[in-house]
Amino acid sequence: MPSSELRISAETRRLLVSIHDVAPCFESEVDRLVEILEARLGAARFAMLVVPDHWGRASLAQAPRFQARLRGWAEAGVEMFVHGWYHRDDAVHGGGAGFKARHMTAGEGEFLGLSQAEVLRRMRDGKALLEDIVGMPAAGFIAPAWLYGPGAMAALEECGFALAEDHFRVWQPGNADRPLARGPVITWASRSTMRTASSLFFAALARRAMQRQRVVRIAVHPGDVTKASLVRSIDRTLAAFSAGHVPGRYAELLA
């Protein structure tokens, strides 16, 4: 869709859709998700969350073919976010962080327990790598599993990212108390039967309850394409919201 057709006013209801965990090890799954999204939204009307070295087993720096694909998607208009470094959480947690690490993700809250210095190193390295590959600024930073510890929140202000997102809001680093968008992300879970069932239920509920929300966010993951029930739910949810919301870009929230 030409950019001249995407002049969106502040009153327009927006639909922001993202593919998480974009990495060389998930290339075929990402291709399938791109196909699903473009069928409903049009070409390149979504964001990609790129992991530089997924679980230490899928180094983007050593994958020139996948780098070229990222560059092509970015040049077509896909927004590129840095999505952690490893995506894997190796920290030992206690208290509230321990609860989040156990119940909100399967060992993937990488930025939940890291020190500010280590977070800053990974953020800067990820930003430099992604920007070198795509030849343009990263759209922002989104932590794996949307989980940020104190070190991550502090480092965000130093790193120069335009946007950040968690499960309930989008904000400019340094202005977390003034969100640009609010409301839960609609997403799906494939790692267990119970989680799949609950995500299907929430998506069905959201298709009715969130129609009047100004900004709706939908996030899909490589694992979603492994279950036909999730693919059907994703397609129905995209159809339901694209009818009344304009598929847009995160950057439009800054306008």
Question: Which DSSP string corresponds to 92-154?
Answer: ---HHHHHHHHHSSSS--TTSS--HHHHHHHHHHHHHHHHHHHSS---EEE-GGG---HHHHH
pLDDT of residue 213: 97
What does the H/E/C string look like for 43-66?
CCCCEEEECCEHHHCCEHHHCHHH
pLDDT of residue 88: 73
The answer to whether residues 114 and 155 touch, using CB atoms and an 8 Å cutoff, is no
The two three-digit tokens of residue 219, written as one number = 């996030």
CATH code where residue 208 lies: 3.20.20.370
The two three-digit tokens of residue 114, written as one number = 């890291």
The Cα–Cα gap between 152 and 175 comes to 14
pLDDT of residue 2: 39
- Which residues constitute the domain of residue 151? 3-254
Tens-level pLDDT at each residue, the chain (255 residues): 334 344 455 578 999 999 999 999 999 999 999 999 999 999 999 999 999 999 999 999 999 999 999 999 999 999 999 999 998 756 543 444 443 334 344 556 799 989 999 999 999 999 999 999 999 999 999 999 999 999 999 999 899 999 999 999 999 999 989 999 999 999 999 989 999 999 999 999 999 999 999 999 999 999 999 999 999 999 999 999 999 999 999 999 998
Task: Please name the residues in contact with 218: beta carbons below 8 A apart, sequence gap of 6 or more.
Answer: 15, 16, 17, 18, 185, 186, 187, 234, 237, 238, 241
pLDDT of residue 113: 82
The answer to whether residues 246 and 8 touch, using CB atoms and an 8 Å cutoff, is yes
Total tally of structural domains belonging to the chain = 1
